[in-house]
Each structure stands twice: as structure tokens, then as C-alpha cells.
Amino acid sequence: MRLRSFPLALIVFSGLGMAIPSARAEREFQFRFIEKPGPYAVGLKVIEQYDASRVFEIASDEPDKAAPTEGCRPLQMLVWYPAQKSSDKIMTFGDYAALIKTETSFGKPVESGKSQAFVEQYMHGVMALPASAVRAAPMQPGHFPLVIYAPSLNAPATENIEGA
């Protein structure tokens, strides 16, 4: 039984091997929405609060120097929800990039560092593209399931915004 699945696995991995070099040739983010939107508009609420149970350390610019502490750990939470249709401006990828700049400084954009390098590298050329959410749109009345998503280690809250 295992021997029969081996040729299929070989074909799949061979196909992946051919796709990877072509993906590396892409220089700009090329995401395209292919799914049709659902029945509800998307709203976004940004919640900024502090986690007093954890200390926030700022990365040091010098490799041998200890990271300074800044007090409680800031938490920027992005809450997407079913919203009522709104004529307000739909967010762009650039709006999300701006949130990355304030994710630990709440209202005071940080213009250099690791998160800004992420913005420049991965969002180059797409800042004006529309996403789906409207910031602070009126909530749709009713009961809806709750989905909690946490980005990967040290990733910005905006890590997977493509559908929001």
C-alpha cells in the first residue's frame, strides 16, 4: 500500500519543486481576491491595551547590549466583524501598514525597525490596493461565531489581512 502512494508523492513534490523557483522570481506581492465576498460587509475595530503580566522589551540596536524594558507589554488587537453596509472608505493595504507602525507605540508611528522593514519588503507596490474592511463600521445585529486568530511568533497583528 505504501509503495502505491510513493509515485504520487514524488509527482506532488516534483511539482512543488518547479513552482518554488518561479515564486522566488516574483518581486512584488501578487495577492488577488478570487473568492466572492460573503453576505455581510466587514468592519474593523482596533483595540489597544496593555498586558500587565508581561514585560515589554525593545530590541536593542547593538547585538551585545541588553534590550531595554518599557513596562507592560502593549497589545494591539484587530477585531473584524460582520458589519452593515457603509459608504465609508474601505481600508487599503497601506492602512494596515500604518497599523504595523503603531502596534507597540499606540498612536505614535515608529518609522524604522523590524516591522517597518517587513512593510517595505512585503507590501511594496500594493499599499493603495483595497482590502475589504471599513474601520469602525456599524455592527450587523445578530449572533455570529467567534474566531480567534493569533499571528505567528513576533508577527504583526495584520499578518493575514488578505480577506479582511
Domain boundaries, the chain: 34-135
Q: Which residues of 1-13 are buried (b: 16+ CB within 10 A; e: fewer)?
A: eeeeeeeeeeeee
Which pLDDT does position 29 carry in this prediction? 54
Most confident region among 90-94, 108-112, 115-119 by mean pLDDT: 90-94
What type of residue sits at position 120?
A: E
Q: Which residues of 71-93 are buried (b: 16+ CB within 10 A; e: fewer)?
A: eebbbbebebbbbeeeeeeebeb
Each residue of 54-77: pLDDT tens digit?
A: 888 766 666 676 666 678 888 888
Whether residue 140 has pLDDT greater than 80: yes
Q: What is the pTM of this model?
A: 0.69
Each residue of 33-60: pLDDT tens digit?
A: 677 888 999 999 999 999 999 888 766 6
Structure-model confidence comparison of residues 112 and 108, the more confident one: 108
